[in-house]
Amino acid sequence: MIPRFSLRRPGSLTEAMAQHAASADAAYIAGGTELLQVMKMGFAQYGTLIDLKRLPELQGLDVDDRGTLRIGANTTHRQLEHSPLIRDRFPSLAALEARVANVRVRNTGTIGGNLAFAEPHSDPATYLLACGATIVLEGTSGRRELAVDAFILGPLFTAREPSEVLIEIRLPGPEIGEGRAYDKISFFERPAASVGVRLVVADGAISSSTISVGSMTDTPRVIEEASAAFVGAPAEMDALRGPMELAQEAFSAVDAVADLNGSADYKRYLAGVLLERTTRAALQEALPRA
């Protein structure tokens, strides 16, 4: 049973922050798929919940003149999954969102809430990290923008100050010759291991590479050695056997966390399998535009 609480429904971000400041035990809530669950289990208790779902400052899904995608924090996973804009210009993000948890969660849960909760098994966080996305926060001291790895500091722990609200996510548009991919292996609707890949192909070779892993560590992280292994290699799967082995060896050094989804060694193995899948998918996306 969820403990009793008061619910506030502000009409603006300024009003929401004022309500938060006026309460000693307040929390912001959007979709509530994570927060209400931990309250129900007794892991957290708040006397006041401030509902952000109606705030206009947290809405919107558009691309600016530089090709950067702006995702309002209140955008649901289902909206991202079905958006024609996302499907056309960011297909790997649409594919990721189609596999988040289940339909109920995708209909209710927001991408802003997902990131703000910093659950170690987050799908979007791993992908957004690989793709160089940033998180925009606004609070009483103004607005600031952080890279994903600077925002997510630990399991259920972020750089967000208590008064701050996550208002949007900014995802750079793909370069010419760029491919992105994300894949996971899941049990109980939670990834046991996940891998995000961003590759740029120029003149038949991989000129840039970023590889991130999630679910196997406390926070999603870029594996620098794995990323570097692909740079300069021919942009063909058959030619990537050596770089692929080097990248998979880099996974063996990752300080993986054992949990109900598997041992540390098993998760490293899964990440190696996923790396081949995501690299292939990223190349397929990159080559038509290369």
Enter the tokens of residue 237: 């799967």
Q: How many other CB atoms are there within 10 angstroms of residue 223's CB atom?
A: 21
**Cβ(153)–Cβ(221) under 8 Å?**
no
Enter the tokens of residue 286: 């990159």
Lowest-confidence range among 9-18, 108-117, 159-168, 185-194?
A: 185-194
* pLDDT exceeds 70 at position 7: yes
- What was the pLDDT predicted at 3? 82
- What was the pLDDT predicted at 2? 85
- What was the pLDDT predicted at 239? 96
- Whether domain 178-284 has CATH 3.30.390.50: yes
113-154 per-position pLDDT tens digit: 999 999 889 999 999 999 999 999 999 999 999 999 999 999
* DSSP 3-state percent helix, strand, coil across the chain (nearest 5): 40, 30, 35
Q: How confident is the model at residue 290 (pLDDT cuts 50, 70, 90)?
A: very low
| b (16+ CB within 10 A) / e for 53-85 | bebebbeeeeeeeeeebbbbbbbbbbbbbebee
31-84 per-position pLDDT tens digit: 998 898 889 888 889 999 999 999 999 999 999 999 999 999 999 999 999 999
Identify which of 115, 119, 114 has the alpha carbon closest to the alpha carbon of residue 151.
115
CA distance 286 to 290: 6
Report the chain's mean pLDDT, rounded to a whole number. 95
Q: Where are the domains of the chain?
A: 6-51, 56-171, 178-284
Topology of the domain covering 56-171: 3.30.465
CA distance 47 to 8: 11
Enter the tokens of residue 188: 């109980």
Which residues, 6 or more positions from 104, have their beta carbon under 8 angstroms from its beta carbon? none
CA distance 73 to 21: 21
* pLDDT exceeds 50 at position 105: yes
243-261 per-position pLDDT tens digit: 999 999 999 999 999 998 8
CA distance 283 to 290: 10
CATH number of this structure's domain 6-51: 3.30.43
- Of all residues in the chain, the percent with pLDDT exceeding 90 is 88
**Cβ(101)–Cβ(78) under 8 Å?**
no
- What was the pLDDT predicted at 289? 60
Identify which of 40, 7, 39 has the alpha carbon closest to the alpha carbon of residue 26.
7
Cα angle vertex 192, ends 191, 195, to 5°? 70
